[in-house]
């Protein structure tokens, strides 16, 4: 786990040890072996005694994770290395806004999870129904019904 604040990159190591690395807008170092996080490029450098060696970083991957308002560019891939939960979204104690939204390129919400964990699928009128996908799910605002992709087309979900 890594946390970035204005002047410091904090990395939690496997053994629970926390490593603090100096962070500012420069990548230039003077002490051999000293790690340094460049906040302008979002890269980690180690000075080898002669040159700054790029160890890696978010900019090196052509992406950045949302840190204090930055917008991610490029894909975010979570590649699990163990049989454990891979992604957690934890609400604030006073959460009222959505925990998660999936939006199209225009910013229109396609699906969302509310602040209390209720999932809302895509909503569309019958005439604007999404292309049929077996196993898909959407809420038809004309019929006021939940639709599921059945064996050969959209089917209404009914209660027993």
pTM of this prediction exceeds 0.85: no
Task: Give strand ranges (E) for 17-156.
Answer: 18-24, 35-38, 43-47, 52-57, 100-103, 109-113, 119-120, 123-124, 137-140, 145-149, 154-156
Tell me what pLDDT residue 71 has: 62
Tell me what pLDDT residue 70 has: 59
Tell me what pLDDT residue 84 has: 85
CB 14 within 8 A of CB 30: no
Contacts of 53 (CB under 8 A, 6+ apart): 45, 46, 47
Tens of each residue's pLDDT in the chain, 160 residues: 444 444 455 555 555 555 556 666 665 555 666 666 676 666 676 766 676 666 655 444 444 444 555 566 666 677 777 888 888 888 888 989 999 999 998 989 999 999 888 999 999 999 999 999 999 999 999 999 999 999 999 999 887 6
Q: List the domain boundaries for the chain.
A: 2-61, 100-156
């Amino acid at each position: 786990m890594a946390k970035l604040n204005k002047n410091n990159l904090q990395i939690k190591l496997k053994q629970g040890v926390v490593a603090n690395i100096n962070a500012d807008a420069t990548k230039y170092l003077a002490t051999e072996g000293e790690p340094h996080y460049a906040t302008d490029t979002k890269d980690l450098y180690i000075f080898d005694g002669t040159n700054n060696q790029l160890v890696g970083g978010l900019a090196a991957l052509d992406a950045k994770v949302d840190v204090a308002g930055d917008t991610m560019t490029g894909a975010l891939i979570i590649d699990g290395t163990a049989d454990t939960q891979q992604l957690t979204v934890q609400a604030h104690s006073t959460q009222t806004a959505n925990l998660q939204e999936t939006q199209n390129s225009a910013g229109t919400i396609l699906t969302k999870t509310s602040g209390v964990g209720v999932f809302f699928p895509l909503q569309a009128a019958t005439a604007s129904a999404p292309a049929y996908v077996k196993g898909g799910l959407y809420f038809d605002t004309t019929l006021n019904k939940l639709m599921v992709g059945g064996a050969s087309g959209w089917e209404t979900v009914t209660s027993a």
